[in-house]
Amino acid sequence: MHVYADNAATTRVSKTALDAMLPYFTEIYGNPSSLHSVGQEAKEALENARERIAGHLGCQPREIYFTSGGTESDNMAIRTAAALGARKGKRHIISTAFEHHAVLHTLKKLEKEGFEVTLLSVKDDHNITADQVRAALREDTCLVTCMFANNEIGSVLPVREIGAVCKEAGVIFHTDAVQAVGHLPIHVKDDNIDMLSLSGHKFHGPRGVGVLYIRRGIAPANLIEGGGQERGKRPGTENLPGIMGMAAALDDAIANMDAHTAHVTALRDKLIAGLSKIPHCVLNGDPVDRLPGNVSFCFEGIEGESLLLLLDAKGICASSGSACTSGSLDPSHVLLAIGRPHEIAHGSLRLSLCADNTDEEIDHILAVVPQVVEYLRKMSPVWKDLEAGKRQYITP
């Protein structure tokens, strides 16, 4: 059995999305900036996609900027608020300790440019509260940027409340909603969001395409210079096939959200209940306010990469918070941010589900993971020390 349970990393492009893209490679392949009919047909399609996406987010089409994806949108949003802040002498930014690196590394760069950054602790409940944001606000705060939902541990943040606090204080609020769009109901006006990043490939659209919503009244800062596309704020010939695929995927995701959420949440809860029976493991992330498809655990006495390789050999595609897989040997900053010690943060497993996953697949995962964990523990000197009482268990 082959089980793909890494949908937070990327999703399979749906047939609807693919079908929506194909004509824009070979039939309506014109440049939307061209005056001839093929170009104008492309332009119409582009504006139609923009309208549909704006409708789904609850904003105006002119507030939608097409980008290359979540990372670019995050960079552009933060740079936009920083530029506006700097003009007024406001150089303080509030964010959280478990943001994506697209946010954290941009903030780090801004620190070198003279900005001050407050990263809110996520140790309590693996989440933040609007009160934490309120307490961190200063006279010179120019931006609050908090993700909508965490990519590794699935915590869903109280975005509407955070947005209300920012609105009251007159501070720009950006949310990296890459993991949330298409999976959770979002309405930028009702949710008090000034800027929002999304990425097409997290809801069965193509990769290489995303959106930055910027509320009217906030002047976007260019990351690159060029022609007049996206009203000159994000120049470069539009990735029309990508945009059409993303719009179609989002149409699908929004239309089927209730059904998908019910199905995926049931699978998630079954998986969490089943994996919780493995001795000495712990669930990461907010147990209540949680993405429908996210399952994240740490297992004591084992290391994540070997777990992933063995699961892969048994047909299960998963991922790990352990950065061992990504080159550095430091464990995930997210797991460290929620207070997991290094030893246990190395033994993490993330399974991220989508509507295509089945009950049989969950049964397969629940049959395989306990075996693999036990196998690795048998050869682990750390586990042996834990069992012998030479090391203290961290989990109950």
Give residues in contact with other proteins (CB under 8 A).
301-306, 309-310, 312-313, 322, 324, 327-331, 341-343, 346, 378-384
Rounded to the nearest whole angstrom, what is the least distance from the CB of residue 279 to other proteins in the complex?
Answer: 17
Q: What angle (nearest 5°) sits at the alpha carbon of residue 78, between those of residues 72 and 83?
A: 120
Confirm whether 324 is a catalytic residue.
yes
Instruction: Choose between 67 and 306: whose C-beta lies nearer to other proteins.
Output: 306
Rounded to the nearest whole angstrom, what is the least distance from the CB of residue 151 to other proteins in the complex?
Answer: 21
List Cβ neighbours of 356 (8 Å cut-off, separation of 6 or more): 4, 12
Instruction: Record the tokens describing residue 64, joined without a space.
Output: 């939608």
Instruction: Choose between 2 and 36: whose C-beta lies nearer to other proteins.
Output: 2
Rounded to the nearest whole angstrom, what is the least distance from the CB of residue 110 to other proteins in the complex?
Answer: 17
Contact 217, 167 (CB under 8 A): no
Rounded to the nearest whole angstrom, what is the least distance from the CB of residue 305 to other proteins in the complex?
Answer: 4
State how far Cα 312 lies from the chain centre: 23
List Cβ neighbours of 133 (8 Å cut-off, separation of 6 or more): 94, 120, 144, 146, 162, 165, 166
What SS3 class is residue 4? strand
Selection from 381, 360, 365 nearest residue 308 by Cα: 365
Selection from 276, 317, 271 nearest residue 291 by Cα: 271
Tell me the Ramachandran region of residue 174: left when phi exceeds 0, alpha when psi lies from -120 to 50, beta otherwise. Answer: beta
Instruction: Choose between 125 and 343: whose C-beta lies nearer to other proteins.
Output: 343
Contact 184, 314 (CB under 8 A): no
Instruction: Choose between 94 and 302: whose C-beta lies nearer to other proteins.
Output: 302
Q: Choose, from 146, 281, 298, 324, the residue flagged as catalytic.
A: 324
Instruction: Choose between 187 and 342: whose C-beta lies nearer to other proteins.
Output: 342
What's the burial of 2, exposed, middle or buried (CB within 10 Å: 0-12/13-18/19+)?
exposed
Rounded to the nearest whole angstrom, what is the least distance from the CB of residue 268 to other proteins in the complex?
Answer: 27
Active site residues: 324
